[in-house]
Amino acid sequence: MTVDIDSERARDSAPAVVAARGGVRRRPRRRWGDRLLFAWTWLIIIWLALPIAVMIMFSFNNPHGRFNFTWVGFTLKWYGPHLLDYPSLTTAMENSLLVAFAATVGSVVLGTLVGLALGKYRFRGLGTANLVQFAAISAPDIVLASSLLAFFVTLRVPLGLPTIIVAHIMFCLSFVAVTVRARVLTLDRSLEEAARDLGAGPWATFRLVTLPLIFPGVLAGALLAFAISIDDFVVTSFVSGSTQTFPLWIWSATRNGLPPQVDVLGTLIFVAGLIIAATSALLGRRGTR
Amino acid sequence: MEQQERDAVATRLPEPAVLADKPAEVPSKHLVPVFDVQNVSIFYGSFRAVTDVSLTIYENEITAFIGSSGSGKSTVLRAFNRMNDLVPSAHMDGEIDYRGESLYAPNVSPVAVRRRIGMVFQKPNPFPKSIYENVAYGPRINGIRKKSQLDEIVESSLHKAALWDEVKNRLGASGLGLSGGQAQRLCIARTIAVEPDVVLMDEPASALDPIATGRIEDLMHELKSQYTIVIVTHNMQQATRVSDRTAFFSVLVNPDSDTRTGVLVEYGPTQQIFENPHDRRTEAYVTGRIG
């Protein structure tokens, strides 16, 4: 049996391999395993990408009214001025972008400092501080949300954009801190010492040596923070007051039907994310070379 | 320096402890002290890394620190350019004078100290930048902006580090692409680009193969005419090959408290330390019986 399979495999692959290399080369083994893995990989990719594909498809749909659930016909009109047909949606999207940028900047600055401290120094409370980072990541959103709401209400802070931003910085911070810390742990400390030795002060050392070295971690943290912030629903809905963000608007709009503008905005966010991810991958590849 | 001054300096020299009774080996009067270490103990938190070290490092000599792990030789080396300052828990008792001035005086800036006293590390650690930028880094930090001037410094530093011929056609290539020995010579070029007075080397060849090590040692001999070099090494043959003077450090264990600390056992001309050690511990170490 084994012999059969082997000889068949040999017959299949030998001419191709010989033709390709023009010489002796061991035939590839585990061909069926490879094929299975290949099929499985694509199945997973399709499964993951299907909702996105549907969203992108329906952003080109031309429905009658607000119910964009059945395919009517192709149009590009939602990618024009009609995108702004719902002023409340436009405002919600602006709020979401504002919150995401503010939360990214805030959490990157604070999270990088936290990550540096956790990665570089040994101090009393280091273990606890580390644990708190992971606890904040693993805590259910709903718990964070209700405690944040209780916190703001107790302090009589009026709910709105500022409270959303504070809340987002709070839950994005840990993600940045963890990614930066991982990078700092791999940092060769003697590089900083070498910079100090050449006469660089603490700030120049950080700017010219430490920051460029941990930058991939900072960038990854920033992208993560932005992505988590822009689509956050649970925490935002608790601390938003009457302010609407993109996810909140969609949630309240589902009852009256989702207009194609939502799919268009979703598609645009997705494409922007894709571009950023591709750029960072390219930069990363260039950086390691 | 005037001859009279020099003589005055020479007579002021504190003699290395174990040499005090050997008048024949008192340094000749042309020696200029660079570092004068008096009763230095260095602590990390409550851990006493090294205890009561006194020795003098002389200009244009290579001084080797040898001894087993934990004997405090690197700690003392790092005290010379105040690198221990970067460790929050570290503190030092005693006095280190650098060319007659207290290195740890409150008005002395560690940054200024480190510009004068360069350091080469155990593992070659070029910055993840181009070869050119690695060497130009120090001069830039110190305010040199003119391209022509930087070019000149980069070329002369790489020449001095015996690396120029190997890299002159690829100065823009990453410093990380060099072999271990080349990378360490790049680090030496980076250090001497800021024209230090002293070069400290913390086991500079321990990560290199014998051929690369040989090149670093040759380089040290060449650099000796312009710089004062202090090298920490685990390799006794290296100490005998390169150094003029050797300090032997050892670990002292306190059996009562089970604490250990580094001590300077013996300091003298390298030949004397290896051929005619005065201390039994030195003899045991250099003949290979311990450590």
Domain parsing of chain B, residue ranges: 3-286
Top-confidence residue, A163 or A257: A163
For the residues A51-75, what does the mean pLDDT come to? 87
User: Are A108 and A251 within one domain?
Assistant: yes
CATH number at residue A167: 1.10.3720.10
Q: Is residue A189 part of a domain?
A: yes
Contact list in B for residue A213 (CB cut-off 8 A) is 128
Out of A23-32, B103-112, B143-152, B159-168, least confident range? A23-32
Question: Phi and psi (nearest 5°) for B135?
Answer: -75, -35
User: Are A8 and A98 within one domain?
Assistant: no
Q: Is A197 on the interface with B (CB under 8 A)?
A: yes
Identify the three-state secondary structure at position A23.
Answer: coil
Contact list in A for residue B88 (CB cut-off 8 A) is 121
For the residues A261-284, what does the mean pLDDT come to? 87
pLDDT band of residue B2 (cuts 50, 70, 90) is low
If you average pLDDT over every residue of chain A, what do you get? Answer: 85
Q: Cα separation of A232 and A238, whole Å?
A: 11
Dump pLDDT digits (tens) for A38-47. 999 999 999 9
User: Are A100 and A241 within one domain?
Assistant: yes
B39 pLDDT higher than 90: yes
Q: What is the pLDDT of residue B5?
A: 55
Q: What is the pLDDT of residue A257?
A: 80
Contact list in A for residue B121 (CB cut-off 8 A) is 190, 193-194
Neighbouring residues of B29: CB distance < 8 A, sequence distance ≥ 6: B6, B7, B10
Among A188, A198, A215, A288, the strongest candidate for a mutation testing the B interface, having the largest count of B CBs within 10 A, is: A198
> How far is C-alpha B118 from the chain's CA centre?
9
B273 pLDDT higher than 50: yes
For the residues B32-39, what does the mean pLDDT come to? 92
Top-confidence residue, B24 or B269: B269
Instruction: Please give the residue of chain B at the shortest CA–CA distance from A200.
Output: B141
Q: Cα separation of B20 and A179, whole Å?
A: 57
Contact list in A for residue B174 (CB cut-off 8 A) is 289
Q: Is A202 on the interface with B (CB under 8 A)?
A: no
B12 pLDDT higher than 70: no
Top-confidence residue, B23 or A238: A238
Instruction: Please give the residue of chain A at the shortest CA–CA distance from B112.
Output: A199
User: Are A130 and A45 within one domain?
Assistant: no
Q: How crowded is the C-beta side of A100, counted as CA atoms within 13 Å?
A: 23
Domain holding A50, by residue range, is: 2-58
Dump pLDDT digits (tens) for A87-121. 899 999 999 999 999 999 999 999 999 999 998 88
B14 pLDDT higher than 70: no
Q: Is residue A270 part of a domain?
A: no
Give alpha helix (H) positions in chain B: 3-12, 73-80, 110-116, 131-141, 147-160, 164-167, 180-192, 210-223, 236-242, 270-275, 280-286
Q: Is A33 on the interface with B (CB under 8 A)?
A: no
Q: Is residue A285 part of a domain?
A: no
Q: Is residue A244 part of a domain?
A: yes
Contact list in B for residue A285 (CB cut-off 8 A) is none
Top-confidence residue, B15 or B121: B121
B168 pLDDT higher than 70: yes
Task: At B19, list the tokens.
Answer: 């040499």
Top-confidence residue, B199 or B25: B199
pTM of the model as a whole: 0.73
Dump pLDDT digits (tens) for A66-87. 778 888 888 888 898 888 888 8
Dump pLDDT digits (tens) for A173-198. 999 999 999 999 988 888 999 999 88
pLDDT band of residue B290 (cuts 50, 70, 90) is low
Partner-chain contact A199 B83, CB within 8 Å: no
Q: Is residue A79 part of a domain?
A: no
User: Are A42 and A106 within one domain?
Assistant: no
Q: Is residue A124 part of a domain?
A: yes
Contact list in B for residue A191 (CB cut-off 8 A) is 125, 127
pLDDT band of residue B28 (cuts 50, 70, 90) is low
Residue B132 near residue B172 (C-beta atoms within 8 A)? yes
The full DSSP string for A216-283 is HHHHHHHHHHHHHHHT--HHHHHH-TT---HHHHHHHHGGG---HHHHHHHHHHHHHHHHHHHHHHHH
> How far is C-alpha B30 from the chain's CA centre?
21
- Top-level class of domain B3-286: alpha beta
For the residues B204-225, what does the mean pLDDT come to? 89
Give alpha helix (H) positions in chain A: 2-21, 31-58, 87-120, 126-138, 141-154, 161-185, 189-197, 202-205, 211-230, 234-239, 246-253, 260-288
Dump pLDDT digits (tens) for A113-146. 999 999 888 888 888 988 888 888 888 999 999 9
Q: Is residue A205 part of a domain?
A: yes
Which of A194, A200, A213 has its CB closest to that of B121? A194
Partner-chain contact B141 A196, CB within 8 Å: no
Contact list in A for residue B194 (CB cut-off 8 A) is 198-199
For the residues B266-283, what does the mean pLDDT come to? 91
Cα–Cα nearest to B39, from B26, B27, B21, B56: B56
Closest CA of chain B from A127, distance in Å: 19
Contact list in B for residue A212 (CB cut-off 8 A) is 128
Closest CA of chain B from A287, distance in Å: 9
Among B47, B87, B111, B191, the strongest candidate for a mutation testing the A interface, having the largest count of A CBs within 10 A, is: B111
Q: What is the pLDDT of residue B20?
A: 44
Closest CA of chain A from B255, distance in Å: 29
Partner-chain contact A201 B122, CB within 8 Å: no
Prediction ipTM score: 0.78
Q: Is residue A66 part of a domain?
A: no
Q: Cα separation of A287 and A281, whole Å?
A: 10
Partner-chain contact B190 A213, CB within 8 Å: no
Work out how many domains chain A is built from and give that number: 2
Top-confidence residue, B78 or A287: B78
User: Are A92 and A223 within one domain?
Assistant: yes
Q: What is the pLDDT of residue A26?
A: 59
Which of B112, B123, B141 has its CB closest to that of A200? B141
pLDDT band of residue A287 (cuts 50, 70, 90) is low
